[in-house]
Amino acid sequence: MSSGFDGEFIRAHSAVSTMSVTDAAQDKRADLAGPGIGTYEEVDRVLPGDYEPLLSPRLTQHAIYAVKGYIEEHLCKELNLMMVQVPLIVETESGVNDMLDRDGSRTPIQFHISNDRNLHPVDAQVVQAATKWKRMALKQFDLQSGEGLITDMRAVRKDYFLDHDHSAYVDQWDWEKAITVEDRNLDYLKDTVRRIWKVISGAQKHVQRLFPQLKDPRYPNLPDEIHFLHTEDLLDQYPDLPRKQRETAILQKHPAVFLIGIGWPLKDGYPHEMRAADYDDWVTETRSEDGRPMHGLNGDILVWNPVTRRRHELMSGGIRVTAETLRQQLSMSNQLDFLKFPYHQAILNGQIPLSIGSGIGQGRTQMLLLRKAHIGEVTVAVWPKKLREISAQHNIHVLT
């Protein structure tokens, strides 16, 4: 890639040489959850200084819907999915809202509906993702093994630090597919990821046919193939780096990676990243291609973004928990009290299908394919004045 090693990666390696063991451990702990940027001084530093949008705001809107239509149509074909309606709000007591991470750092917006003069009220939450709802919906829509659903999901995540690729408003292609017990293996997971990657890379070719100005020699296209790597192997390659810097480093070698096994504690004592305990299966023992023991049937699609010159996450998901792995993961996370919720009871009692699923970020994908430096150029959200000012100084003008 023409952009070479970005400043984020170079700084990481120079810092390691002077970092104490205690400092390194603290850095890894701080890196377990959440966005990689935590101050607006850093945002100002990492935003590109030479940015020129390739599409006007008007053309960008046309391109957004070209990408959206292509991806929805082809995901349905590749994964045998049907489009369904999805909730924006759910009952608190249902337990189907996504808590995102298992450390409790990201909580949903909650509100009380004083229905019928508070005689029949409802306590509700705004969804943070439809991850658990989708698995319940497989039963509601009577979908059988090999059949699935996809949603045009909208959510609010109030606890994010708002930067160039994290918004309080979230839109995702949230999909879920019923599978058999025989499908719960790495080969099935990898085949599914390859199908998704075929759609994403195909969407890039499609939108560039419609808008040839998106072909720019400064910005290499996505590779045809995605590289698979276990988190255990990534740690072995970069044992002293925190996880986001490990991801940055590997993307210099492979610009598109599916990183497998996110949530399982690695040999340095930390998981690659904190991951919720009640949907993705990150404890099941698997084997690498050369026979070494690994863990996890889940992962993330990560790519190198040549516009921002940073790591860029597009998708998170995988094969979902069974009754056994749900108990194990909740026990490891000290969250066994979750088993009281209807969603968790449905898994324990075999009332909903085994499944695989993921959330594919719409804004993140549009940002990447349309060569944008800020997610606010492709989605409408709220941004602090400080961030809007910094963005404008970098020739980035977010939608309002």
Catalytic residues: 98, 157, 172, 300, 313, 316
Looking at residue 104, its amino acid is G
Do 230 and 261 touch, CB atoms closer than 8 A?
yes
3-state secondary structure of 173: strand
| Residue-level length of the chain | 400
Percent helix, percent strand, percent coil in the chain, to nearest 5: 40, 20, 40
**φ and ψ at 360, to 5 degrees?**
-105, 120
Looking at residue 254, its amino acid is H
Rounded Cα–Cα distance for residues 174 and 130 (Å): 7
Structure letter (DSSP) for residue 143 = P
Rounded Cα–Cα distance for residues 123 and 112 (Å): 5
Structure letter (DSSP) for residue 277 = S
* Residues with Cβ within 8 Å of residue 345, at least 6 apart in sequence: 339, 351
The sheet carrying 355-361 orders its strands as 81-83, 148-156, 169-178, 355-361, 310-319, 298-305, 256-260, 227-230
Do 195 and 79 touch, CB atoms closer than 8 A?
yes
The string of DSSP letters for 291-346 reads S-EEE-SEEEEEEEETTTTEEEEEEEEEEBP-HHHHHHHHHHTT-GGGGGSHHHHH
Q: How many CA atoms lie within 13 A of 340 on its CB side?
A: 4
Pairing of the two strands 122-126 and 110-113: antiparallel
List the one residue out of 311, 77, 286 whose CA is nearest residue 196: 77
